[in-house]
Amino acid sequence: MSASGEKQNPAFYALLVALVVMSVGPIALMLATSFKMNVDIYDESISAFFFTPTIRNYETVLCNVLWYAPEHVDYCDPTFGRALGNSLVIAIVSTALTLVIGCMAAYSLVRFKFMGRDTVSITTLMMRMVPPAVLLVPVFGIWTFQFGLDQSYAGIILVYTAMNLPFVIWILQSFIVQVPIQLEEAARMDGANPMQVFFMVVLPIIKPGLAAAAIFTFRIAWNEFLLANALLGRSTRTVPVTIVNSITEYDIDWGVIMATGMLLAVPPILFTFVASRQIITGMTAGAVKG
């Protein structure tokens, strides 16, 4: 860090501005567009950011959730409300499942000595290097023809859990390694059984790790499109799939798509805010002489 008063290179600021525009720009454009009438969107004489705003797009998207019937909506399409519900169920259940399995697996990889432990640890991470697109065809085949899990919540939740587990195990391993072994010994002396040691002593201490892993997992499960598109049916579709499906050959309602996109962004943001409050450093402060 530079000392105060020292002049910064203007190019540095230019780079910063460029990066900010690149990351915030699309979101701002999406936000602006979501408040536009369709006529304004296609009219090149209307500025991107200065126009008469309307909440009609949001009313269209949320029509079956609202307490009133928006008058401009002729037919209320329940797709979005349903998709939002699907997305929430799938993301939350798969995140919970991933964390529960992940923390136990990570704990056993760190604390228990067994043959091939290092191999398991490394191959776990290598699994993560396989792109989901590669898995698409085999998973679709096996899920559909062997287990009949296609179009069901269970099918996609299992896929997401399997997809996220390697990274979660890997991230939690590094947190568990930092838990002093003496704490576990102290808990054992205090009369805790192995499960109690894990749930009452280890888990609370690695909470920051769990939060980080949860944010990561939730975000992936929430945004995933490729597998969801292939594996889910009409009634179990998640929001990303729904958005893409609203682009038809007859009509592209950009305003509604943008409004859906904005609404899609809200839950992960809320979730991240809640979870990131758990990410505090120094969880083990005072535990042992450091």
Partner 1 sequence: MPKIQLDNLVKRYGNFEVLHGINLEMEENEFTVFVGPSGCGKSTTLRMIAGLESVSDGEIYIDGKPVSGLEPKARDLAMVFQDYALYPHMNVAQNMSFALRLQKAPKSEINAKVKDVAKMLGLTDFLHRKPGELSGGQRQRVAMGRALTRDSSTFLFDEPLSNLDAKLRGQMRAELALMRQKVKKNMIYVTHDQIEAMTLADRIVVMHGGYIQQQGSPEELYKRPVNKFVAGFLGSPPMNFLDAELKDIDGTLCVMGAGFQIALPDGYRSRIPASANGLVTLGIRPSDLTYAPEAEEDQSFDLKVVVSEYIGAQSVLICDCAGQKVEVELKSDTPIALGKQLRFEVNKDAIHLFDRETEAAF
State the Cα–Cα distance between residues 2 and 8, nearest whole angstrom: 8
- Are the beta carbons of 182 and 228 closer than 8 angstroms? no
Binding region for partner 1 (CB under 8 A) out of 42-50, 53-61, 199-207, 237-245 = 199-207
Among 191, 249, 250, 281, binds partner 1 (CB under 8 A): 191
Q: What is the largest CA-CA distance in the chain?
A: 76
- Residue 203 or 258 having the CB closest to partner 1: 203
130 φ/ψ sector (left φ>0, alpha ψ -120 to 50, else beta): beta
176 binds partner 1 (CB under 8 A): no
- Residue entry with tokens 């567009």: 33
Residues 201 to 230 in contact with partner 1, rule: CB under 8 A: 201, 204-205, 207
Among 3, 39, 189, 195, binds partner 1 (CB under 8 A): 189
Residues 57 to 76 in contact with partner 1, rule: CB under 8 A: none
> Shortest approach of partner 1 to residue 167 CB, angstroms?
25
Among 70, 81, 180, 208, binds partner 1 (CB under 8 A): 180
- Residue entry with tokens 């993301």: 91
183 binds partner 1 (CB under 8 A): yes
Among 25, 43, 48, 190, binds partner 1 (CB under 8 A): 190
- Residue 9 or 281 having the CB closest to partner 1: 281
State the Cα–Cα distance between residues 168 and 175, nearest whole angstrom: 11
> Shortest approach of partner 1 to residue 183 CB, angstroms?
5
Residues 4 to 63 in contact with partner 1, rule: CB under 8 A: none
120 binds partner 1 (CB under 8 A): no
280 binds partner 1 (CB under 8 A): no
- Are the beta carbons of 86 and 243 closer than 8 angstroms? no
- Are the beta carbons of 118 and 173 closer than 8 angstroms? no
Closest CA to 87 of 277, 278, 265: 265
The footprint of partner 1 on this chain (CB under 8 A) covers a number of residues equal to 26
134 binds partner 1 (CB under 8 A): no
Give, in order, the Cα–Cα distances in Å from 55 to each of 52, 72, 245, 261: 10, 11, 22, 14
State the Cα–Cα distance between residues 206 and 195, nearest whole angstrom: 15
Positions touching partner 1 (CB under 8 A) are 180, 182-183, 185-193, 196, 200-201, 204-205, 207, 282-289
